[in-house]
Amino acid sequence: MSAVRIEGVRKLYGSVAALDGLDLAVEEGSVFGFLGPNGAGKTTTIRILAGLARPTAGQAWVAGIPAGPESAARRLLGYLPEEPHFYPWMTPQEFLADFVAGLFRMPPREARARCAELLERVGLQDVARRRIGGFSKGMRQRLGLAQTLMNHPRVVLLDEPVSALDPAGRRDMLTLIGELKSQTTVFMSTHILDDVERICDSIGILRAGRLLALEGREALLERHAASALEVDFDAPPEAVAAWAAELQKQPFVAGVELRESLARIRSDGEQGTLEALQRSVLGSALRVLRYQVARPSLEDVFLRLVEG
């Protein structure tokens, strides 16, 4: 069964189409990664699912119930916006057990137990009585995730949940999100491709309000990714950069990324491309330490689809 289903959704802001005939489905008990460049329509989609906006046309369902501002589906949702806001004078305990639980009319005993469980889960049990106003960005994101889970939601909507966190904070938040699929369905919008590749079961790629791809992670990589080549040179970085600049002019090269003397080359995927790249490497007059065909990455797929 689909936990989230969207059919023919259009959303217009004046003459601008934020979404243009969007169709997708997300299966229960999975982590879905929703990708797209800025302005693609990711946040608009999440707002429609959350009942915070109405589509101009089409329909969305959450747990089989039509989404909307007056829909019963809202009680089955958890929603974490990109920048969650809190009352700074409250403590996490007050915010969750009194305020959030009150919105869902939870009995006080159940609210206190759920609050204690979630604060421990997100690692905030030791600051349960501190004022939220003194929290770091990472702590607020953790509290936001706890708030999102307070009502045992069947679907969790996360809008850029780790975009402003440091590497350690991202790692911890992603671990928490990955653990959620045993209890709920996660619909996560992000632009951090490595995070999606790490935890998501299926992926949708959006551009200008239209869905370009919707598949399981491995199937998407297999279907859309062209081969990439990694070459580690024993040469000064400026010499490698000069060679890469010339290589970039070739029609079969989709892109070249450089890290010092290491070059990662994305090809167009056509037959004979790897042979042409090999000839270019051998003809560079630069000493090669390592040469290998790399496993396609989600970044390769994303750039190939979004850049057309």
HSE value, Cβ hemisphere, 13 Å, CA-based, for 137: 12
pLDDT of 179 over the 70 cut: yes
Where does the chain hold its CATH 3.30.70.100 domain(s)? 225-306
> Comparing C-alpha atoms, which of 196, 195, 86, 205 is closest to residue 146?
86
Domain at 2-222: CATH code: 3.40.50.300
pLDDT, position 30: 92
Q: What 8-state DSSP symbol labels residue 227? A: P
**Class of CATH domain 225-306:** alpha beta
**Residues 48/54, Cβ–Cβ less than 8 Å:** yes
**Residue 267 pLDDT grade (very low, low, confident, very high; cuts 50, 70, 90):** confident
Distances (CA, A) of 275 to 63, 132, 234, 240: 50, 58, 21, 19
End-to-end Cα separation, the chain, in angstroms: 32
Higher pLDDT, 104 or 191: 104
Residues in contact with 4: Cβ distance below 8 Å, sequence separation at least 6, in sequence order? 24, 25, 26, 32, 49, 60, 61, 62, 155, 185, 187
pLDDT-based confidence at residue 224 (cuts at 50, 70, 90): low
Does the pLDDT value for residue 57 go beyond 80? Answer: yes
Query: Mind listing the pLDDT tens digit for each residue in 120-130?
Result: 999 999 999 99
Least confident of 11-25, 204-218, 257-271: 257-271
What is the rounded average pLDDT of the residues 293-297?
A: 70
β-bridge pairing 16-27 and 2-13: antiparallel
Average pLDDT, the chain: 88
Between residues 157 and 304, the one the model is more confident about: 157
CB contact set of 143 (below 8 Å; sequence gap of 6+):
84, 86, 92, 95, 96, 122, 124, 132, 135
pLDDT tens profile 69-114: 999 999 999 999 988 899 999 999 999 999 999 999 999 999 999 9
CA–CA gap between residue 255 and residue 263 (Å, rounded): 10
- pLDDT for residue 269 is more than 70: no
The DSSP output letter for 74 is: G
pTM of the model: 0.79
